Chains A and B, each alone.
Chain A
Amino acid sequence: EVQLVQSGTEVKKPGESLKISCQGSEYRFTSYWIGWVRQMPGKGLEWMGIIYPGDSDTRYSPSFQGQVTISGDKSISTAYLQWSSLKASDTAMYYCARLRSSGYYPDAFDIWGQGTMVIVSS
């Protein structure tokens, strides 16, 4: 079964750093873009950015550029989302999702991870 498995819940203090992970299985990890999506408590989905594990090409939403770093390790089929200095406003559920493609561009998120809850509180 094709799946993405994310790391577990994190509870951090403001100013701390964090790196969460998303590991793919049962498909060629290097051939599909992986995206990250934020969902703040009681709110909607927000696209943060994507990475192509094959060559680490990375694109960010203007809203998240400079706020987070997306990276990957294709040797272990894993994508990462990291913060250097967390804020209380980073408290949210974070989903990774695989991007399918019908042709030239990636077009939809077809496989989703279970989500990683990040809680930032003093």
Chain B
Amino acid sequence: QSALTQPRSVSGSPGQSVTISCTGTSSDVGTYNYVSWYRQHPGKAPKLMIYDVSQRPSGVPDRFSGSKSGNTASLTISGLQAEDEADYYCCSYAGSYTFVFGGGTKLTVL
């Protein structure tokens, strides 16, 4: 059960859009539509931003969107704001009630 692959870092200017990829295998991302995304600010607990590939929990701005194609899921953040600067993690259900996280991506707002 290997970690999902995410880019180490991405960056964008305020108002721009950025996309973070999350690549798994046919045993996790490719089979199940249970990909979720989390934002973690330094020293804080993670916060759920997207679940079931593209669903937003109540209170999460519609600037955050998710998608999936094959073994790769993506998180897109549009209209970047300073508060979006954080670490982002993807997570996928991997069958038999097991889960796997991605390595995390540091988003820098320039």
Contact = CB atoms under 8 A, between A and B. Distances in A.
Interface stretch (A11-19, A45-53, A66-74, A81-89): A45-53
A77 interface: no
Contacts, number: 75
A24 interface: no
22 contacts: A33-B97, A35-B99, A44-B3, A44-B102, A44-B103, A45-B91, A47-B100, A50-B97, A61-B98, A61-B99, A95-B46, A100-B51, A102-B34, A107-B51, A108-B51, A109-B36, A109-B46, A109-B91, A110-B48, A112-B47, A113-B45, A114-B45
B1 A107 contact: no
User: Closest 6 CB pairs between A and B?
Assistant: A108-B51, A108-B36, A44-B104, A107-B34, A112-B45, A59-B97
Contacts of A45: 38, 40, 46, 89, 91, 101, 104
From A45, A97, A106, A110, residue with most partner B Cβ within 10 Å = A45
A108 B100 CA distance: 11
Interface string B72-110: 000000000000000101010100111111111000000
A44 B98 CA distance: 17
A115 B32 CA distance: 28
Contacts of B34: 102, 105, 107-108
A110 B51 contact: yes
Interface of B: 1, 3, 32, 34, 36, 38, 40, 45-48, 51-52, 55, 57, 87, 89, 91, 93, 96-104
Contact of A106 (B40, B45, B97): B97
A15 to B, nearest CB: 29
Nearest to A60: B98
A33 B40 CA distance: 22
A122 interface: no
